[in-house]
Amino acid sequence: MTKHVPNLNAQKIKGGVATDQRHDSAHKHVSGTAVYIDDMPEPAGILHGCLGLSTATHATITRMDLSAVRTAPGVVDVLTAKDIPGENDISPTGRHDEPVLADGKVEFYGQPIFCVIAETREEARRATRLAKVEYRQLPFVTDIGELDPRKGKLVTPPLTLRRGDAAAAIKAAPRRLKGKMRLGGQEHFYLEGHIAMAIPGEDQDVTIYSSTQHPSEVQHMVSHALGVPSHAVTVEIRRMGGGFGGKETQGNQFAALAAIAAKRHHRAVKIRPDRDDDMTATGKRHDFLIDYEVGFDDDGNILGVDFMFAARCGFSSDLSGPVTDRALFHCDNTYFWPNVHAQSAPLYTNTVSNTAFRGFGGPQGMVGAERVIDEVAFAVGKDPLEIRKKNFYGDKEGDRNITPYHQTVEDNVIQRIVAELEASSNYARRRREISAFNNNSRFIKRGLALMPVKFGISFTATHYNQAGALVHVYTDGSVHLNHGGTEMGQGLYLKVAQVVAEEFQIDLDQVKITATTTGKVPNTSATAASSGSDLNGMAAQNAARQIKERLTNFASEKYQVPRDQVLFLPNRVRVGNQEIPFGDLVKQAYMARIQLSAAGFYKTPKIHWNRDKGEGRPFYYFAYGASCSEVSVDTLTGEYVVERTDILHETGRSLNRAIDLGQIEGGFIQGMGWLTTEELWWDDKGRLRTHAPSTYKIPLASDRPKIFNVKLADWSEANEPTVHRSKAVGEPPFPLGMSVLHALSDAVASVADHRICPRLDAPATPERVLMAIERLKQEAAKPA
């Protein structure tokens, strides 16, 4: 690479904040040169691991004969629970309910019970099939529909939110109704599956390359499993091939087993499950059964609402507590409920333990809110959009701005976003055109829906809202950047580098992005909750400002000028009436023994949460957006296409519009897939049967809307002092996919002249759409 020659006459740096920059690895992604863990050169003598999975859904193991496995070609070792030197537990919340390997009892079909270590991956995979395991079957439950959410076994304590008296308001309301909605889960389907490579070191040391969103948690879990201090374990990750929440906790198991085997045999060990095992043995988005009751008046004003959110959590707690909490936090979406009662039921089932997934329960809460809005709209015979707007939160000066968890909404812009999108998408005109089309079309029906989104930004576990960063400035003026955030394709590394370049006023190519490692920045939080840029950007900015402050003081003292006459310009520093190249000033500072390295830190202010009371300010701010989708449905088959989608979303003062637009487009498509084609299905023996792309259908490029208009709200900015007044963009766009589900519902409703709420559950597969159409036809044909 040629040496960087800065333009000392430039008016702006190349690649600062608020500029459109390509993803730092985009050219490597498309050319196949981006190095993922499985692309790394393997150390000599490396061994490979493969998990042996249970073939019972809930049972005690009466006999496990692994003799044929141990004598299979290439097999070096077979690990079982008794071979774990430390603690046989990888539960992220410390509830000690998730073993590394099952010990005597299995609680879901596909639970890891042993791990084969062999010379090659193929030998390890073949050997796992030779195990002879006998079980004594126990009763099992996989479907939460069979459980009473108030009496079922829970994996973690439930949460209740209340404001006002929902029961009294519903009872006194002029009109009321109740219903139930089933909402499916979702497989992460990251392009790169789980993988871990452990390399043993001296004494207790081990280095692990793990495809994880949470290196510090992997470090802690591995240290517990090995029975060694955290300082003995170093975890590093340069990039993941997708994460979506599925690599927040689920990588712990693979890393722990690789590390145990590596230390036992003093050889590097790599574990990379195939896609079927990955989908079978790792957690997914929580599916929910949502019970609701609502009281309202003849105009569609909602007076009281009561929710029960029952979730299929699987056999252990994992992150089900905070996921179901966040579902309740978003059961209002953009609406003010004058009286509200909402309760969660994180239910135990004999399925894989469900985990984080983009939105972390928030989208499930919003879907429940939107079902209530639709029910009220059909009951009073009005356009659902009219009911939505009627029940929006008010401005911060009024009394319609308190959430069910007693946080004041201070930054509400949803009215403006919806109004602008309603106009730009020509909603009213298209509503009339679609009505005329449906009246003249016998088999093809069209539907239209415009949906708002309000998403809370922060970890609801307050202590996670912190970040660290490490910045070095070298004597030639180039910069080394490291922070606790992880890169999974979302562009976090690039955004944080832009923040540092902006702070020093140097070109972006002068900032070196480096792999996340626990050896440089300790005690990091997961890259999750859409907080990656907010937290790590501010921490890196803090580190850069420390160095900048030292350089300013040095220049002021050396050149005998006031501090306010030291000004950082593009690639140079003005000191009094002279300008010095940035690299030259850095070299002078080094010669004067000025420290050119800093550890930055940031913690989110203002937030607090009392779970016992169900009150506080769990979110620093909210991100808003809206989407309008139009679909065409074949009423003979239930098949459908998305004709057009318009999105208006706000990201504050965007750090990088190109990256943000990509996140919005991708989030929408992923959310659309969750609510339409992606169906998880367990058979009557408790086996997940949708464990490969042959049976699990994610959206294809051909499934995208034929017309896809995505725009940022350029007028938006964060009302709190976030990094350059930007807003998070990882999770908030995901629920925008609701507009497709509700457009399908609108099309289905047309077969009964919009007199009956379709109550279309999700995922709205063609089969489910067809069944809803037939049900509405039958109901419409009944005598009044």
Instruction: State how far the Cα of 669 lies from the Cα of 682, in Å rounded to an integer.
Output: 25
Helical H runs in 193-283?
Answer: 215-226, 252-265, 275-281
Q: Over the range 130-143, which residues count as b (16 or more CB within 10 Å of their CB) and which as e?
A: bbebebeeeebbbe
3-state secondary structure of 103: coil
Instruction: Give the pairing type, strands 479-483 and 511-513.
Output: parallel
Contact 100, 249 (CB under 8 A): no
Q: Is the peptide bond before 763 cis (omega within 30 degrees of 0)?
A: yes
Contacts of 105 (CB under 8 A, 6+ apart): 59, 60, 61
Instruction: State how far the Cα of 775 lies from the Cα of 784, in Å rounded to an integer.
Output: 16
Helix/strand/coil (H, E, C) string of 445-504?
EEEEEEEEEEEEECCCCHHHCEEEEEEEECCCCCEEEEECCCCCCCCHHHHHHHHHHHHH
3-state secondary structure of 31: helix
Of 620, 640, 622, the closest CA to residue 630 belongs to: 640
Contact 657, 648 (CB under 8 A): no
Contact 80, 101 (CB under 8 A): yes
**∠ CA 686-692-693 to the nearest 5 degrees?**
140
Concerning whether 731 is annotated as a catalytic residue, the answer is yes
Instruction: State how far the Cα of 165 lies from the Cα of 183, in Å rounded to an integer.
Output: 27
SS percent in the chain: helix, strand, coil, step 5 = 30, 25, 45
Instruction: Give residue for tokens 């309301």.
Output: 173
Helical H runs in 45-165?
Answer: 67-70, 121-128
Contact 780, 749 (CB under 8 A): no
Longest dimension (CA), the chain: 93
3-state secondary structure of 664: helix
Chain centre distance of CA 710: 21
Q: Alpha carbon of 343 to those of 161, 324, 712: distances in Å?
A: 6, 9, 35
DSSP 193: -
Instruction: State how far the Cα of 246 lies from the Cα of 251, in Å rounded to an integer.
Output: 8
| Active-site residue, selected from the candidate residues 639, 731, 774, 779 | 731
Instruction: State how far the Cα of 274 lies from the Cα of 387, in Å rounded to an integer.
Output: 48
Q: Over the range 255-281, which residues count as b (16 or more CB within 10 Å of their CB) and which as e?
A: bbbbbbbbbbeebbbbbbbeeebbbbb
Catalytic residue positions, numbered: 731
